[in-house]
Structure 1
Amino acid sequence: MSKTYQTKRRCARQAAEDVTVPSSVGLAIEHIAASMKAGLLALAVQSGLAVMFALLEEDVTALCGPRGKHNPERTAVRHGHDAGSVVLGGRRLPIRRPRVRTADGTGEVAIPAYELFSSTEVLDEMALGRMLGKLSSRRYRLGLEPVGTEVEHAAVGTSKSAISRRFVAATERALAELMNADLSELELAALMLDGVHFGEHTCIVALGIGVDGAKHPLALVEGSTENATLARELIVSLRERGLDVTAPILVVLWTGPRRCAGRCWMCSITR
């Protein structure tokens, strides 16, 4: 999961770097006038969409060359338009996106601007942030910024089920990042393991306290602190992720009310 997530992040960054930026963008006066009635945000949205379509066209031109000019050495050709969608203000907005194929017709060519604007990573992060802020998936739409009536009616992806799926995807990525983070730069004074209850489930949480007093969440696994094997494996995994085990450190394992056992670091990972 972590490798897939990191690959997507690299692809998104590469897409942002590959986008061809036009020198100017034209905006229709009638669109501006209509958007002004819905407020400044709606006007900004319409202007942003115009810029996005200009970026798409610039990328297509960069891949295929200027329209109407024959180039026998070109490696890609225009292939009409198809249904697509982009992310806008916590929503998915359906659009007609341009298509590009290789000159020999063997495959589709990715358009950097479209890859960037259609990425769902921002949607997942917004869903996670709002739900952690106690906004339910059923009321998610009420927490979105106004984007104008036209865009609002066309937008999709704000249903309860869609938000729930994004929340799950975002939490999975966050957990993968937590469980695979490099710990080699951390200098801990103490490591605490405690059980946390989530409904009918119990998880062991590893929390590090740095020499500067800062707290660092390190790992989370399902199980009970009474399970010595699981607790030991969790601590060993921290060492394998680069945590320094040669320096003196206090390890505190909370096993229940009024039962707290403090052991040295080396004893905790070798017993």
Structure 2
Amino acid sequence: QRWLIVFVDGFDFAGHTMVGALGVTADGTKVPLGVVEGSTENATVVRGLIGNLRDRGLDASQGILFVIDGGKALAKAIKQVFGEQAVIARCRVHKERNLLDHLPETERLWVRRKLRAAWTNPNAAEAEAALRALAAQLAKVNPDAAASLREGLADTLTVTRLGITGSLLKTVMSTNPMESMIEIVRDHARNVKHWQRGDMRLRRAAAGMLAASTQFRRVKGYRQLPALAA
């Protein structure tokens, strides 16, 4: 397959944390690629997942856009395994949530407005300048919020630098395409009351991902994928 996009995100399942990967082919078809137990902040876990994807045939020779949550270990593992063939985009939903969590309710509205205005700007240089100006403004009132924004800031603009717009931008600006799959995974195991052995969760999660794949539609904006490939 010609893989264009891979979403990687952590999720809670049966009281444990899992990390799942969802691929998108050149025609917009979504395909579950793998799942492991652990966190996106666990270097060993994510290195195992990403290395396993490569070993099972995930071909990045023509480049792949990886859309990930904020896990530093995950970004590092992708670069270690795929090098310059991997283009990393940070999920804007995760970034916004993490940033706003540092702020009181009274400060969140104007920060959210400036954050989203910057991300809406199709000029990546101007957008980055606006985000860095916002970080400088936050540093005067909340250094932790400023640090949260600066961490991985450039990667939140990867999709802007790639010239992605419209429906496809809504698809790749976050890891949300995985959400429907995760809900089906949980629903698939809703009747399990007693979890036995460590691999039972993995098997149930994998079975749920396969069940979800039968209900998938092509990603929104799939007609724009040839331009992304180029």
TM-score (normalised: structure 1): 0.27
Greater strand share, 1 or 2?
Answer: 1
Larger Rg: 1
